[in-house]
């Protein structure tokens, strides 16, 4: 079965691990009570990682528009292919919406983002105490939606590998394998 192109595979896994790490860090840092240097450090790292996801997602979208992914096998039911495309579309949307909502949340809180502590990113909106809680809630719920959809995505990939054994998951694995589940 035809595999995804190498740039698509690299970007998929890079973004996947970054999202899992940034999401986890977000939960950990917001759980730290009060104000500690560790908390402030985690907040900065979280923002740097989020902006990195946004940058990689942009590259990935450009690549996706240039190069279509390999087609699904002909015997896959049409509804499954529609659901898969819909889910992938939503995941693409959230790869942008989640970091952007966090970025604007930080700006509304009056804290600009300086990427890796080196590159000051544009301050597009002023500090806004009324908008801050709205963007905070939006960022949180978009993340919960992303976590739910990623779970569905992973379960669907495993279903293809373990039950359907149709090789769909193998197309995105970073290595070629002759295991029958992935072929």
Binding residues (CB under 8 A) for other proteins: these are 34-37, 40-41, 44, 109-114, 117-118, 127, 129, 132
Residue 4 Cβ, how far from other proteins at the closest point, in Å?
37
Residue 1 Cβ, how far from other proteins at the closest point, in Å?
47
Three-state secondary structure readout of the chain: CCCCCHHHHHHHHHHHHHHHHHHHHHHHHHHCCCCCHHHHHHHHHHHHHHHHHHHHHHHHHHHHHHCCCCCCCCCCCHHHHHHHHHHHHHHHHHHHHHHHHHHHHHHHCCCCCEECCCEECCCCCCCCCCHHHHHHHHHHHHHHHHHHHHHHHHHHHHHHHHHHCCCCHHHHCCCCCCCCCCC
- For other proteins, the closer CB: 41 or 180: 41
- For other proteins, the closer CB: 44 or 52: 44
Is 89 exposed, middle or buried (CB count within 10 Å of its CB: 0-12, 13-18, 19+)? Answer: exposed
Residue 144 Cβ, how far from other proteins at the closest point, in Å?
22
Residue 117 Cβ, how far from other proteins at the closest point, in Å?
4
- For other proteins, the closer CB: 87 or 114: 114
- For other proteins, the closer CB: 61 or 111: 111
- For other proteins, the closer CB: 41 or 82: 41
Residue 126 Cβ, how far from other proteins at the closest point, in Å?
11
């Amino acid at each position: 079965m035809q595999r995804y192109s190498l740039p698509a595979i690299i970007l998929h896994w890079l973004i996947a691990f970054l999202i899992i790490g940034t999401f986890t860090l977000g939960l950990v840092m917001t759980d730290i009570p009060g104000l500690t240097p560790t908390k402030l450090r985690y907040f900065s790292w979280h923002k740097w990682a989020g902006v990195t996801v946004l940058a990689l997602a942009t590259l990935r979208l450009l690549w996706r528009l240039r190069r279509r992914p390999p087609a699904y096998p002909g015997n896959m039911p049409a509804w499954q292919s529609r659901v898969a495309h819909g889910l992938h579309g939503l995941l693409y949307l959230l790869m942008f919406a989640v970091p952007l909502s966090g970025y604007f949340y930080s700006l509304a809180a009056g804290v600009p983002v300086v990427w890796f502590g080196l590159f000051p990113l544009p301050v597009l909106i002023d500090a806004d105490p009324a908008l801050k809680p709205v963007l905070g809630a939006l960022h949180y719920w978009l993340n919960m939606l992303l976590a739910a959809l990623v779970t569905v995505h992973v379960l669907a990939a495993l279903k293809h590998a373990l039950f359907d054994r149709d090789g769909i998951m193998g197309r995105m694995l970073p290595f070629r394998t002759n295991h029958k589940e992935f072929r």
